[in-house]
Amino acid sequence: MFQKVLATFGSGGAKIDARLLDRTAAPGRPLHGEVLLLGGEVDQEINGLAVTLLARVQVPGGRTEDLPFGTTQLVGNEVIRAGQQVRVPFEVPLPWETPVTSVYAKPLPGTAVGVRAELDLAAAVGDPFDADAVAIEPLPAQKRILDALSRVGFTFREAVLERGRVDGARQQLPFFQEIRFTPSPRFASVFSQVAVTFLTSAERTDVVLEVTKRVRVSKTGGFGGRGQDFLGMFTMKPGVDWEKQLEDWLDQVARPRGIFD
């Protein structure tokens, strides 16, 4: 009886060990892995075993939280026997809007996506869990835009996930990713930042560009610390010269629009 009591507090109880079988994944593709279920010192009832996708997202107030954006149930009501070992394979569908966390096998700082496996034990005070980070590489269409920005002289600054929605865009998840760049020398005097957001579905990839334009505070041309944001949206199509498309749009936004612009 004493062993059963200890197991309810996690001492000598069942444990899990999750691991990914795919070194990298991509939005809209399945992610494969397995959970090793290890029985403890006594038999225990299981209410369920599930894996959940998590993203570390910025929320209002400057805080971050791990936001779930998809759960797959693996096991229902079962009994794990003392000392028993069970391997449970899983295949988790990644949403098309899953954030990119790696580009050309290099981690993208500022973005964290993971898979959390959690065992729901009956009558337990705390449930065992295990989490692993996932390397999400961009889709070919997304990589094409990132390459185009690099070719026209923009350099990566940071990536963030923000809770909320992009105005006027079709969006499925309750958060979006911004991959932010420092402008090329050609645009450095006009823009302080350029950010790209990918909103992808099975049918198409929309690219949202947000530029922060420096605002003049005097007629002599001096710039202040303020900025004005401009949004542009493009749908990816084959055969487009995206370097030219991006530069043409940036040229248009860069033109003066008023006395302080």
Q: For 155-174, what is each residue's pLDDT tens digit?
A: 999 999 999 999 888 899 99
Residues 6+ positions from 117 with CB-CB distance below 8 Å = 16, 18, 35, 49, 50, 51, 129, 130, 131
Tens of pLDDT along 67-119?
999 999 998 888 988 999 999 999 999 999 999 999 999 999 989 999 999 99
Domain ranges in the chain are 2-133, 140-254
The highest-level CATH class for domain 2-133 is: mainly beta
Give the predicted TM-score (pTM) of the model: 0.85
Give residue 9's pLDDT.
35
Q: Give pLDDT, residue 1.
A: 40
Lowest-confidence pick of 106-115, 132-141, 225-234: 225-234
- How does pLDDT run across 9-31, given as a tens digit for each residue? 344 578 999 999 998 999 999 99
Q: 């450095």: which residue's tokens?
A: 188
